[in-house]
Chain A
Amino acid sequence: MTSHQAFPAVDCRNLSVRYGRIQALDQASFTVEPGQVYALLGRNGSGKTSLVRCLLGHQKPFAGGVDLLGQDVWSRRTELMRRVGVVAEEPDAPPAMTPRQLLRFCAGLHSRWDVAGTDARLTRFRVPLDVPFGKLSRGQKAQLALTLALGPGPELLVLDDPTLGLDPVARREVYDELLRELADRGTTIFITTHDLAGIEGIADRVGILHGGRLLLDGSLEELKARHRRVSWAPFRALRPEELAPYAPLRVREGGLGGEAVVSQGDPTRLLDGDRPDLQVQALSLEELFVALVGAESEVAS
């Protein structure tokens, strides 16, 4: 692992994907450093699936390229998959195979396989070993997929919406397992998800994809420090020229007052004036996401 630490774990360069006249992904570029947890967020149809497919060497991009662990993923996919664990968005294992058969199949393809760790995980998850994959519950499928992905002790883990359709308990178990993996081995994690509350406590960096373009890419702390919510009392809305220096993303006015999500500068300066009704608050990741990609943000901008 040390020999590859000079390279980013993921290096995505000007990635573009087209389907006929539809531009699914438009020159997306970002890097994920070793040991980081990178969360890629986006609404349905934002280009996440196309990006993940290119990231795993399943699809050749229209332009640009992706390096994983310092190697081009399209031409070196086989070698890279020895060092990369993947959990797909849709459970993709053959439905007729049982977890026991799947474990044997995957273990046989890797030169190293953490048998003890795999057994411990399956016990924690309570996944039955002799029930066909197709008959497992959605949660069990996701947990088994995560177990299979972690089996060879990957340097990079790519998770494509691993908590999609899971109940809160199963979702928590998946995140706990990821946190355990992070604590034990410092694995780099690239995750796409709609579960913003769940990922907020884990992610170091966040990318937001919208309409095929990477709107935003930065550390979660930095993003949260930069974006704030300013709210005011009814009939006392801030004037556009007052808000302009703080680059408002979204302005909303209602019966109970109004609010704006601002994206630059220090909005606490607004509190210095004669406005006791004004409040400046930090945003959750979900609020930040909605402010950036919500329909209203487009109108506001």
Chain B
Amino acid sequence: MTTLAVFRREWIGRRNVFLLGLAMGFIQLIAIRFDPDGGSVHDKAAFMAMGTGTLFAWVVAALFGATMVGRDLEERRFSFLLNQPLQTGEIFAGKVAAGISLAVLSAILLCLPPVLLGGLWRQLPLKEVSRIVGLWLAGGTVLLLLFHAVSIQVRSRSSWLVLDLATWAGFAWGARLLSRRLIGGGAFEEMLQLWLVLLVVVTLGLAVAGYLQVAEGRADLHRSHRWVSVTLATSLGLALLIGWVQATWVLGHRPAAPRTLTASPRIR
């Protein structure tokens, strides 16, 4: 219930995003209708709605993540929530849920004018729609958490930024190394799996870092930064370790070379 209160507070503060989404949807519709190049309105509506919808959802999620706590901390407004009987977990969950829902719903509003007025709704493939909304949700979540962590790191302006940069550089180098090992071993599909595993572990790490920033850092930007940095360094290291175990396991279980295979006539 209290999480819902935080959620509502965030929505009230940023309700203009919905209007912006809707306005952009109408602009798109006009652009499709009056396109001098002609072509199928249906195809253009589908392409623009989904393309700009995805971009809009992700940009909103990223901007929300960059400001949801960091800006409050910088402007000394975060104390308003800390002065209420709210658990830090409720504050973080309420903000994250508000940000993701705001991003996805405003992107849906953006798509509505082209979809409804562009005639796309008649042949709307439900499976495709749910896949796109799933993409907005997943991508939005990752971006929101990532930008939250980065915004805390940047806003604190402390020397811990050096550790952050070293962590991300080390992670990129390790992930590249693992990918090359798998490609070298001919395991292209497994490399994609590796990237998925890394993404999941890093996202979980970002979520934990975000929660700890609120729970342990509270209104102290430098302490927040330390918690985010240490948690991220740990989770990125863990992700690489899991990736390394996976790569080693995959490469150690390749099928044996068909050297011993011999052909002989069947004896009757």
Question: A interface vs B, CB < 8 Å?
Answer: 19, 53, 56-60, 77-79, 81-82, 86, 88, 90, 92-97, 101, 105-106, 108-110
Contact = CB atoms under 8 A, between A and B. Distances in A.
Contact of A93 (B2, B8, B80, B85): B80
Contact of B218 (A57, A97, A101, A110): A57
A79 B219 contact: no
Contacts of B77: 92-94
Given A57-B82, A82-B85, 17 more contacts: A58-B218, A58-B220, A59-B218, A60-B223, A78-B87, A81-B84, A86-B79, A86-B83, A88-B76, A90-B76, A92-B83, A94-B12, A97-B12, A105-B8, A109-B2, A109-B5, A109-B86
Contacts of A57: 82, 218
29 contacts: A19-B222, A53-B220, A56-B82, A57-B82, A58-B219, A59-B220, A60-B216, A60-B220, A78-B87, A79-B85, A81-B85, A81-B86, A82-B85, A86-B79, A86-B83, A88-B76, A88-B80, A92-B76, A94-B9, A94-B13, A94-B77, A95-B13, A96-B12, A96-B14, A97-B12, A105-B8, A108-B1, A109-B5, A109-B86
Question: Which 4 A-B pairs have CB atoms at the shortest separation, nearest pair first?
Answer: A58-B219, A86-B83, A92-B80, A81-B85
A106 B84 CA distance: 7
A60 B227 CA distance: 13
A56 B1 CA distance: 23
Interface string B65-89: 0000000000011111011111100
Interface string B48-78: 0000000000000000000000000000111
Nearest to B222: A19
Nearest to A59: B220
B134 to A, nearest CB: 31
Contacts, number: 74
A110 B85 contact: yes
Given A53-B219, A94-B13, A77 B82 contact: yes
Contact of B9 (A19, A79, A88, A105): A105
A59 B223 contact: yes
A58 B218 CA distance: 6
A109 B85 contact: yes
Contacts of A59: 218-220, 223
A97 B84 contact: no
A115 to B, nearest CB: 17
A14 B1 CA distance: 38
Given A19-B222, A78-B87, A105-B8, A94 B82 contact: no
Contacts of A92: 76-80, 83
Given A96-B12, A97-B13, A109 B84 contact: yes
A56 B76 CA distance: 14
Interface in B3-31: 5, 8-9, 12-15
B12 A101 contact: yes
Contact of A78 (B5, B85, B216): B85
Contacts of B82: 56-58, 77, 81
A93 B12 CA distance: 12
Nearest to B77: A92
Interface in B79-133: 79-80, 82-87
A78 B79 contact: no
A88 B222 CA distance: 21
Nearest to B84: A109
A248 B12 CA distance: 58
Interface string B201-245: 000000000000000101110110000000000000000000000
A77 B85 CA distance: 8
Nearest to A95: B13
Nearest to B82: A58
Contacts of A78: 85-87
